[in-house]
DNA sequence: GTATGTGAATAACTTCACAGCC
DNA sequence: GGCTGTGAAGTTATTCACATAC
């Protein structure tokens, strides 16, 4: 989801819609799987199913890249893999640093899919001196003091922040000052960055909250059908002070927030 | 980010736009921070800045919830916290199971923000018998055999999948069969679920690829005419009937994909 | 016959700008 | 005077449906 695009007022000329860009990795993954099974061609319908979108959307997306299919036949798998990879910039190597080697940072470092496609972990960085030198996922953890040197020595332009929330902005500032222009933020904070720097965030708690929203609606469903397994009615406590407030007051079983 | 909404054709009546729902957790976080600093009221401008959006959007978002502000003054922090929490369904307790206690699963289990707001880790589940009983984040890991019992005993409706890609669909099927109707998927796979089940995914590699796309553009910035239709004789997969191919062929230093 | 590519139609989302209320 | 709430305008994304090409 979700990101803080900061630059580019919506590229003119060869502009690929942001929504399309966000789906290209999905297509690429599905195509790679087909490629591994040596499937030579695929129709928009099949590929769309594999990627979890509908075929019209997929065809429209591909139309922004060019005319890479063959009418009456479909798409050449290998060729498409290449085109999408190129479009995404995966035909080059992207060194990445991960800052904050706690539980999450270590998990990210160990995540295979990382290296698999264009990305290479150039270094793991942590502020804890006790961590320095300790190997994680085969790489020695480096101390934060070295951050700037690591960035510039390796030509790193993408940084991953997996620190506690409190340290994130500071780390971000240093990364940016050192030359990083794309940041993937796992810390639950809004980062502020200068123009020209892209930030994307991944936030467990936000995702869960969105799910809870929909889950809540399912429970309070007007009743008739959807075979509700009705996972036990949870009860709450507390009371709401009513008062004037006009909002569309909902059902909701009461209970106070934090 | 992105998700596979599966049900609800966009609720009529009290329908809050999906884009708005996705931002409520952001507002909530910013408000909670203000609340902790005992700030009594906040303007749309201030709150918007703290949440990383613009104020018009924020006001529009809030307008879907009701009229919770005071003209000329702003919003009452505590009151808004409560309203948003309620809207998101966080005024109730959501037991959650995490399946797949590898590096990532353990990181998730240890993630504090988890319990902090309405969510409670009911159980950690892993397929490895050797893991069974071992404590992670203070909870004993349970074996997959117990999955169904755990779900129903605890009234779990939200499941988190942190297994390898290969196991994800199978785990998903079992979760759904056992009564889970919301899934947060960290495995790099498209899950297929029946109508009525919500899936959201979190995918490191997709996020990085999106960043790489933009990063690539930054590098090739300004150049007047985007990409010279250079030869770029795509070697791969002979089959290609040369000619035709109109796509905006790019520069790119060659290199074949996987 | 079959499946792509794409204009046109529709829907969702964002931003503007200002009336309304404090 | 200041700030919210919201119609209206503008923008982006999705879906339709069919001409076009194999």
How confident is the model at residue A221, as a pLDDT? 61
Distance CA A32, CA A82 (A): 10
What token pair was written down for A190? 């809004």
DSSP label at A145? G
The radius of gyration of chain B from alpha carbons, rounded to an integer in Å, stands at: 24
CB contact under 8 A, A118 and B212: yes
Task: Please give the pLDDT value at position A242.
Answer: 30
Asked if pLDDT for residue B254 goes beyond 80, the answer is: no
Indicate if the pLDDT at residue B21 is higher than 60: yes
Query: Could you tell me the CA-to-CA distances from B121 to B94, B98, B150, B151, B164 in Å, in that order?
Result: 8, 7, 12, 12, 20
Range A250-254, long-range pairs (CB < 8 A, 24+ positions): A250/A220, A250/B14, A250/B86, A250/B87, A251/A220, A252/A216, A252/A220, A252/B86, A252/B89, A252/B91, A253/B91, A253/B92, A254/B91
From the CA of A204 to the C1' of C3: give the distance in Å: 40
Residues, CB < 7 Å to strand C = A 43-45, 55-56, 59-60, 62-63, 67-75; B 10, 17-20, 53-54, 56-57, 59-60, 70-73
Please answer whether residues A40 and A236 qualify as being in contact, where contact means their C-beta atoms are separated by less than 8 angstroms. Answer: no
| Strand C nucleotides with an atom less than 7 Å from a protein beta carbon | 1-7, 11-17, 20-22
User: What are the pLDDT digits (tens) for B40-61?
Assistant: 999 999 999 999 999 999 999 9
Binding site members of B for NAD(+): 100-105
Residues of chain A contacting residue B103, judged by C-beta atoms under 8 Å apart? 103, 106-107, 110-111
Asked if B194 and A246 count as a contact pair (C-beta separation under 8 A), the reply is no
Tell me what pLDDT residue B123 has: 98
Closest CA to A2 of A185, A192, A225: A185
Is A212 within 8 Å of B11 when comparing Cβ atoms? Answer: no
CA–CA gap between residue A92 and residue A72 (Å, rounded):
33
- Using the beta-carbon criterion (under 8 Å), do B66 and A211 form an inter-chain contact? no
DSSP-derived 3-state class of residue A151:
helix
Nearest CA in chain B to A14: B226
Alpha-carbon distances of B113 from A10, A205, A207, B116, B121, rounded to whole Å? 34, 7, 12, 5, 11
In angstroms, the Cα distances linking B16 to A150, B13, B57, B60, B90 are 46, 9, 14, 11, 16
Predicted local distance difference test score (pLDDT) of residue B220? 73
- Looking at strand D, which nucleotides approach a protein CB closer than 7 A? 1-7, 11-17, 20-22
Cβ contact A215–B89 (<8 Å): yes
Gap from A231 CA to chain B (nearest CA, Å): 5
User: What's the pLDDT at B134?
Assistant: 98
Higher per-residue pLDDT: B35 or A254: B35
B67 CA, C22 C1': separation in Å? 14
Is residue A100 annotated as involved in ligand binding? yes
Percent of the residues in chain B that have a pLDDT greater than 70, as a whole number: 79
Q: How sure is the predictor about B11, in pLDDT bands with cuts at 50, 70 and 90?
A: very low
Q: How does pLDDT run across B109-149, given as a tens digit for each residue? A: 998 777 767 899 999 999 999 999 999 999 999 999 999 99
Mean pLDDT of chain B: 84
Q: Which domains does chain A have, with CATH numbers?
A: 8-88 (1.10.10.10), 94-204 (3.40.50.720)
Q: Do A30 and B190 touch (CB under 8 A)?
A: yes
Find out whether A104 is annotated in a ligand binding site. yes
Chain A partners within 8 Å of B108 (Cβ): 204
pLDDT, position B251: 26
> Do the chains contact at A52 and B158, CB–CB below 8 Å?
no
CA of A216 to C1' of D3 (A): 33
Whole-number distance in Å between A56 CA and D15 C1': 7
Kindly list the residues from chain A whose CB atom is less than 8 angstroms away from the CB atom of residue B29: 188
Q: Is a pLDDT exceeding 80 seen at residue B78?
A: yes
How high is the pLDDT of residue B114?
Answer: 74
Q: Please, which contacts does B38-44 make with residues 24 or more away whose CB atoms are closer than 8 Å?
A: B39/B77, B40/B76, B40/B77, B40/B78, B41/B73, B41/B74, B41/B75, B41/B76, B41/B77, B42/B74, B42/B75, B42/B77, B43/B74, B43/B75, B44/B69, B44/B74, B44/B75
Reduced to 3 states (helix: H, G, I; strand: E, B; else coil), residue A201 is strand
Strands B158-161 and B182-185: parallel
Task: Count CB neighbours of B149 within 10 A.
Answer: 12
Q: What phi-psi label fits residue B228: left (phi over 0), alpha (psi between -120 and 50 degrees) or beta?
A: beta
Stated in angstroms, how far is A8 CA from C12 C1'? 22
Give per-10-residue mean pLDDT for chain A (258 aa). Answer: 37 75 98 98 98 98 98 98 97 96 95 81 98 97 98 98 97 98 97 97 96 92 38 30 35 27
Residue A231's pLDDT is what? 31
**Quick one: pLDDT at residue A216?**
96
Which of A46, A211, A218, A231 should one mutate to test binding to chain B, selecting the residue with the greatest count of B CBs within 10 A? A211
Smallest CA-to-CA distance from A145 within A176, A99, A188 is with A99
Which residues are CB-contacts of B149 (< 8 A; sequence separation ≥ 6)? none
Q: Decide: B221 and A13 in contact? Cβ < 8 Å.
A: no
Q: Report whether B184 contacts B194 (CB < 8 A).
A: no
Nearest to A202 among B26, B51, B202 (CB): B202
């Amino acid at each position: 989801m979700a990101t803080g695009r900061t630059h580019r007022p919506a590229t003119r000329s060869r502009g690929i819609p942001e929504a399309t860009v966000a789906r290209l990795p999905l297509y690429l993954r599905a195509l790679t799987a087909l490629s591994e099974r040596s499937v030579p061609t695929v129709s928009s319908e099949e590929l769309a199913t594999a990627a979890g979108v509908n075929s019209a959307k997929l065809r429209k997306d591909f139309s922004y890249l060019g005319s890479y299919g063959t009418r009456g036949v479909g798409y050449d798998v290998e060729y498409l893999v290449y085109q999408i990879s190129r479009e995404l910039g995966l035909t080059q190597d992207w060194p990445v640093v991960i800052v904050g080697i706690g539980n999450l940072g270590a998990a990210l470092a160990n995540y295979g899919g990382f290296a698999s496609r264009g990305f290479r972990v150039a270094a793991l960085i942590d502020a804890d001196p006790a961590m320095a030198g300790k190997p994680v996922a085969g790489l020695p953890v480096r101390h934060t003091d070295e951050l700037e040197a690591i960035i510039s020595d390796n030509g790193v332009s993408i940084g991953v922040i997996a620190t506690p929330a409190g340290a994130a902005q500071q780390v971000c500032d240093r990364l940016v000052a050192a030359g990083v222009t794309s940041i993937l933020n796992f810390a639950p904070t809004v980062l502020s960055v200068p123009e020209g720097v892209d930030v994307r965030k991944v936030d467990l708690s936000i995702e869960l909250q969105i799910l809870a929203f929909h889950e809540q609606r399912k429970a309070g469903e007007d009743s008739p059908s959807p075979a509700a397994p009705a996972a036990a009615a949870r009860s709450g406590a507390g009371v709401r002070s009513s008062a004037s407030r006009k909002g569309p007051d909902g059902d909701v079983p009461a209970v106070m927030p934090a």
